[in-house]
Structure 1
């Protein structure tokens, strides 16, 4: 823990010296993407959420609750360590961004706090989504200083994900050889349900161009590779043909959605998928883009 905090402090010192103050930043905006400052604010938005999630969860669930639920005292201590590191991420990013940094919102974690098991299961999701978010944003960052700063956080998020994959469900901490990335709207669609509307201040938590997609839910409680799963989403007017893209291990596999005579949408989960998989519904059979996304992502653990 001490070495991690020292490393983060050193990185924060480097970032603050490299980007000094908002007035000295050279804001580079690509024609089709956000600025570096917007990207770091996107990361800070997620880190605010994670920090609040852990501190509120650990306030509710003490070590005795972990033990009663069948988890060890070591598990409780590890989650405490994750909470402290998420707080360090917030301090690091907020310090680097200065007055340009977004503020935390108000959150609703009630559904995740029904039990220690649900708390850990949601922790697993948040850490995996956080890892995918940093990986997805990396190619858009133009500043080497910003990229190094984001990478230093990404590696810790990945370690959190690996640990929680194992402790929350007994799954492998590293089920695939390559990490899956998500884009800004895909990540925000997964984070938005925890954020209370209109609670993020005048400027909001994110650039106005980033919107959450409509929800996609799983009717089949335990989806499995090589089997059919029932799903639910709102069909846009005038659209009747849809495809589900399964994102796993850096690959994207499209599968046609079949609407049965009972009106229920179903999709065949591809074989050989392992670990956390994102499912997104699109009107395209060949390429998944925000412009053709209908609903999602939904998360499947295979």
Structure 2
């Protein structure tokens, strides 16, 4: 699971917390995504986002909320996390931070350009929220890379995979064709970010089979990203994130008894009680590509087996524990999801 993996890395080196550097007054005061280099090729350390957009923006009209306002409020809150990760990285490092370790000379610039893209996403999502709804502002965030470039690069893979996974689920929640198209367009950009990392940083194939993994319940993945939010730091006006939030138990696993790959046995650990009942039927539901496979789950041992049918070394496998085969509804999920990264394979077992 993303949050457990991140915290395992953070525990080795301590937590980092940084606020964005002030924006230069020389930068364009009103950049437009798709029409400004600030959201594409800018490599400066100060944020590319104008100050009047780095705050809570109240509703300016009364009336019925837009059909997808809630979706974009959730997505904007998630995007503040993703953007802040890259902004902190741009501020913490220099080109030599990566080139001195043998990474390509372009690594810092690519990270800055991804930061630009994420900043552009913030402006896109803000504009998609109607004038009758509040636009959430940023909180403070802690990612735990503590000026260590290699830890930052490992976290980058998880954050990109996380964003790709929840976007596939959010498409299912959209109420308009325009929203669906916008989500697909953003997901394609996140995929480009991950492809760059897999090729240039990890030197592995970027291909994940014929389809990336679809996990149907986006808010369950969004809830995992709350581990990055500094408690009590969010603006009081912000809505609950994500909304609604089932507050499901998080899933970890015992790392010394599994490879985390298809065909391997895996013993799960839960952050709190999933509410199992003796004699009940429970399933480990594994999602990969556009399919899912359910395996009976033994609540006495918390053990199951990752389906061997799945492609090896490709994309991610998402795992939820449910009280119905296939986890056909959001409410059937009792814990999770756990995201098992399959590429690069060396990061699969980064669990506490």
**How far is the alpha carbon of 1:113 from its aligned partner?**
4.3
1:239 equivalent in alignment to 2:277? yes
Show the counterpart of 1:217: 252
CA distance in structure 1 between the partners assigned to 2:247 and 2:149 by the alignment:
28
1:281 equivalent in alignment to 2:316? no
Show the counterpart of 1:5: 34
**Higher relative contact order structure (alpha carbons within 8 Å, sequence separation ≥ 6):** 2
CA distance in structure 1 between the partners assigned to 2:277 and 2:200 by the alignment:
42
Q: Number of matched residues? A: 281
Show the counterpart of 1:75: 107
CA distance in structure 1 between the partners assigned to 2:62 and 2:195 by the alignment:
38
CA pair 215-113 structure 1, distance change in 2 beyond 3 A: farther
**How far is the alpha carbon of 1:53 from its aligned partner?**
0.5
Show the counterpart of 1:149: 182
Unmatched tracts of structure 1, length 5 or more: 10-20, 29-34
Question: 1:96-139 deviations in whole A, cap 9, x for unaligned?
Answer: 436621111221111x4473222122211222221222222223
| 8 Å CA contact 1:216, 1:295 repeated in 2 | yes
**How far is the alpha carbon of 1:257 from its aligned partner?**
2.5
**How far is the alpha carbon of 1:238 from its aligned partner?**
4.7
Unmatched tracts of structure 2, length 5 or more: 1-30, 39-58, 343-352
What are the residue-to-residue correspondences of 1:257-296 with 2, within 5 Å? 257-258=297-298, 264-271=301-308, 272-273=310-311, 274-296=314-336
CA distance in structure 2 between the partners assigned to 1:148 and 1:270 by the alignment:
32
**How far is the alpha carbon of 1:86 from its aligned partner?**
0.5
Question: 1:178-216 deviations in whole A, cap 9, x for unaligned?
Answer: 122332322223211112233322333536422442110
- Provide the alpha-carbon RMSD of the alignment: 3.0
**How far is the alpha carbon of 1:3 from its aligned partner?**
12
Show the counterpart of 2:73: 41
Q: SS of 1:196's equivalent?
A: coil
State the TM-score, normalized to the length of structure 2. 0.70
Q: SS of 2:319's equivalent?
A: strand
**How far is the alpha carbon of 1:235 from its aligned partner?**
4.0
1:115 equivalent in alignment to 2:148? yes
State the TM-score, normalized to the length of structure 1. 0.80
Deviates more, 1:288-297 or 1:79-88: 288-297
Deviates more, 1:48-57 or 1:283-292: 283-292
Tell me which of 265, 275, 284 is aligned to 1:228: 265
CA pair 62-213 structure 1, distance change in 2 beyond 3 A: farther
**How far is the alpha carbon of 1:55 from its aligned partner?**
0.8
Question: 1:209-245 deviations in whole A, cap 9, x for unaligned?
Answer: 2244211002126412112122212443452453211
CA distance in structure 2 between the partners assigned to 1:149 and 1:301 by the alignment:
26
1:197 equivalent in alignment to 2:231? yes
